[in-house]
Every structure is written in structure tokens, then in C-alpha cells.
Structure 1
């Protein structure tokens, strides 16, 4: 009885041992393949990273070799404004005190007209030549004239020869606080729909505070300068990141 009982057990045990041995040996057989695959992936990834680093270096070298600081910006902004140009940020500011008013001009690099935008074309609706690209550039900026607990906020643009207004809003100091009824505040009419006399009066209001075409010309040059400098810094940071082991 013991033999009859033990024999099947021995067979099952042998099969179990065979299955166990087979199961144990299977991963061992696959290890070289998996390792080889991983090695190929690592090598491919390394090659791609090296290629990217090389391109980044070439681009950074080109930018630095062709960069010339604009000497016309050295004296600083006109009309008694002071430049606040925080490194690494996508905006710069011009600051000024006028009587009891605090005036801030803000230029956001991410909020500029596209070169292909029809609104940026010249009067003949023709795209400017590459040599005239800088001369045809339009810069958009925001002017805040604050006093007391509120401010007038002007959305402006300039090509260096003319200065235009597209919108005017009157904002309180706590304009960013959400209203209880969740309704938006009225920010003002479309500027172009205002009476011509009123439009000119607003332009004169800004001109008295130093917001002129001359300032617009400075903003254009400073926008190009900051964009170039920040782009170089971005290239360097990305290159250093990709180079990390």
C-alpha cells in the first residue's frame, strides 16, 4: 500500500520538480535578451541626447556670436521712466511717479503680435522685407495709471512712430477679488467706437504722462533685447539639464 501510494506521489513530485526547474530556468534564459534590449535602448537614448546637446550648443554658440547689445538702450528709457527688467521673467516694466500717480508700463513677451498677423502688415498689406522687419515691428504693452484705490489700465501698441490705444479699463485695487455674485465687471467700451475727440483726449492724457511714440520705440528695442537675452539663457539651461547624468 505504501508503495502504491508513494509511487504516484513520486511521479507527481518528479513532474513538480521538472516544472519547477523549467520555471526557474526560463527567466535565466531570458536575462541576456532583456539585458541586450535594455542596453540597446540606453545606447539609443544616449545617442539622441548627445545629438540634442550638440544642436543646443551650436544654437547657443550662434546666438552668442551674433549678439550685439543695443547701444541705444544704454541711456535707459525716456521721459523719466525707470526700467525694471527681472532676469528669467517673461516681462519687463517701466516705472514712474507723476504727481500723485504711480505709472507702470508692462511689456509681456508672450503677448506680442505674430509676425504673420494681418494686423502687423504695412498699409499696402504686403509683408515687410527681412531688412525692414525690425522697423515694422509692433510692440503691445499695458499702461497702468494708479492713484487712490483704483487705476486706469490702457491696452496700447506702438510701431515706434505712432502710439495707439485698443482698450481702457477702470479697475479697483481689489479687482482680483472674486465678486459674490460671480458676475464680471464692466471694463469699458471698444476704444475705436468712442468719439474721435474722446479718443484723442485719452491719447493726450497718456502723452502728458510720457507715454509717447518715442517711448514706444524704446519698448520695441527693449523687447528685442530681452527676447534675445532670455532665449540664450533658456538654451543654456536646457543644455545643462539634458547633459545631466
Structure 2
């Protein structure tokens, strides 16, 4: 046994304190009991290297085990508190593609057999303070924002009318619109003025144009409810993928 202890003390550079020596001695004894092999002094380097790898593996296993424990607890908490519901696939005349694992969804429909309407909506991408009574606002209460891009094509043509909107909790606001041709686009195409710079009557007419195609305040309400559910779904999916990777051998 003494032949084993002397090389160990040399390779591990034990501290002179009795507590450090006691800790390492206990580990050495434990290893010897598990693998009762006594190495000759000339082979102590091989044993020390094996011991270091063993200790590193134990530490890595403990570290990964802690991450897995925290991930499992978080997943269980989210599922127990308010589990996500199955995403809907229809909203009015629109079909809804949830785009699992991505930060956006797609809605599509046809309008009067001549137009195809495609809507791309992000998950929550910004927020502003919610107005309070008296005009004041508080950073604790916010209005979440969803960027919504409406694509309208006609008769199978290659031109696309793109309308960039903001979906707030109960309203749709048009930010900008422009026509994108099917040919090669200029490097910096002119995308029109800011929507609010347009004549008021023109603004109202463009809102009516969208509302006739189902892009209205009810859509904004739907998108916010949908994204709340998707936000939770994607969070749980993300944790599951991280957990699966760490568990992989």
C-alpha cells in the first residue's frame, strides 16, 4: 500500500495541510478498493494520468448532471403551470402554418379567386410601455409588438404588393407598403414614404383594403394569443433539444 501512496503524493502534489492530505488519501483508498491493483514505482506516471482522467470525468459528469436536473425541473414547471395548447391550423379563411422551431408563422388564403394573400408574422419582437390613465406610463406594463408582413399577388403574376404592419394586442397598424417586381430588384429600391405621411383619406382607404382581405384588428388579437402559446411551446422545445444533446453519449 505504501508503494501506491508515495507515487500518488508525488503526482498530485498534495498540500501540506492535513485536510487536503486526508481528502486525497480517502480518494486513493477508494480507488484502490475498487481496483486493487498496485503499480510499481516506475509506472506511477501512467497511474497518475489515469487518475486525473478519472477525476475529470467525475467532475464533468457532475456538471452535466446538474444542467440536466435544472432543465428537467424547468420543463416540468412550465408543463405543470400552464402547458401549451395544440396550435390551431385555421383562422377565418386563413390556413395557419405554425413553423415549428422557427420564430415566425405563416398564414395563407385566396381572395375572390384572383388574389393570393400570404402573411408572415414574427414572434414578439419588441414592446413599448402601456399607456395609463391620465397619459402616464409604467415600465412594468408593456404592449408587445409583432411584425406582420402581408404579401398580395394577383392572377399568378410575379409582382407582389408588400405591406409591412405592426400587430399590437388589439389593433393592426400599417407602417409601409411597396411593390416588389419579379425581375431583378435594384440594390436599393425606393420603398415609398412612411405610411403616416400619406393623406388621411388614402390611409383610411388602405386600411379598408386590408380589412376586406381579413387583415384587421381581429387578426391582431389572434396573433397575440397564438404567439403567447408559441412562445411557451418553443421555449419547452428548446430546452428539450438542449437536454437531448447533453444526454447524448
Normalised by the size of structure 2, how large is the TM-score?
0.72
Hey, what does 1:96 align to over in structure 2? Answer: 109
Larger radius of gyration: 1
Render the CA deviation track for 1:165-200: whole Å, top value 9, x for unaligned.
1121211234xx575xxx322222222222222222
Hey, what does 2:99 align to over in structure 1? Answer: 86
Verify the 8 A CA contact 2:161 2:180 in the aligned structure 1. Answer: yes
Alignment gaps of 5+ in structure 2? 1-40
Verify the 8 A CA contact 2:122 2:146 in the aligned structure 1. Answer: no
Verify the 8 A CA contact 2:115 2:153 in the aligned structure 1. Answer: yes
CA RMSD of aligned residues (A): 2.7
Alignment of 1:139 onto 2:178: no
Hey, what does 1:206 align to over in structure 2? Answer: 210
Hey, what does 1:240 align to over in structure 2? Answer: 244
Verify the 8 A CA contact 1:170 1:188 in the aligned structure 2. Answer: no
**Comparing 219-228 and 190-199, the one that deviates more:** 190-199
* Secondary structure of 2:126's aligned partner: coil
Q: 1:228 aligns with which of 229, 232, 248?
A: 232
Hey, what does 1:30 align to over in structure 2? Answer: 45
* Secondary structure of 2:150's aligned partner: strand
Verify the 8 A CA contact 2:84 2:233 in the aligned structure 1. Answer: no
Once the two structures are TM-superposed, the CA of residue 238 in structure 1 deviates from its matched residue by 1.3
* Secondary structure of 2:91's aligned partner: coil
Matching of residues 42-121 of structure 1 within 5 Å: 42-69=57-84, 76-78=90-92, 80-99=93-112, 100-109=114-123, 112-115=124-127, 119-121=128-130
Render the CA deviation track for 1:41-68: whole Å, top value 9, x for unaligned.
2111111100000000001111111224
**Comparing 206-215 and 186-195, the one that deviates more:** 186-195
Verify the 8 A CA contact 1:156 1:165 in the aligned structure 2. Answer: yes
Once the two structures are TM-superposed, the CA of residue 120 in structure 1 deviates from its matched residue by 4.7
Q: Return the structure number with greater relative CO, CA threshold 8 A, min gap 6.
A: 1
Normalised by the size of structure 1, how large is the TM-score?
0.73
Alignment of 1:125 onto 2:137: yes
Q: 2:170 aligns with which of 138, 161, 173?
A: 161
Quick one: structure 1 residues 75 and 243, their matched pair in 2 at CA, closer, same or farther if it must change by over 3 Å? closer
* Secondary structure of 1:127's aligned partner: strand
Quick one: structure 1 residues 69 and 238, their matched pair in 2 at CA, closer, same or farther if it must change by over 3 Å? closer
* Secondary structure of 1:96's aligned partner: strand
Quick one: structure 1 residues 121 and 27, their matched pair in 2 at CA, closer, same or farther if it must change by over 3 Å? farther
Verify the 8 A CA contact 1:113 1:120 in the aligned structure 2. Answer: no
Count matched residues: 204
* Secondary structure of 2:138's aligned partner: coil
Supply the distance in 1 between the matched residues of 2:237 and 2:150 (Cα, whole angstroms). Answer: 28
Structure 1 or 2: more strand by fraction: 2
Once the two structures are TM-superposed, the CA of residue 128 in structure 1 deviates from its matched residue by 4.3
* Secondary structure of 1:200's aligned partner: helix
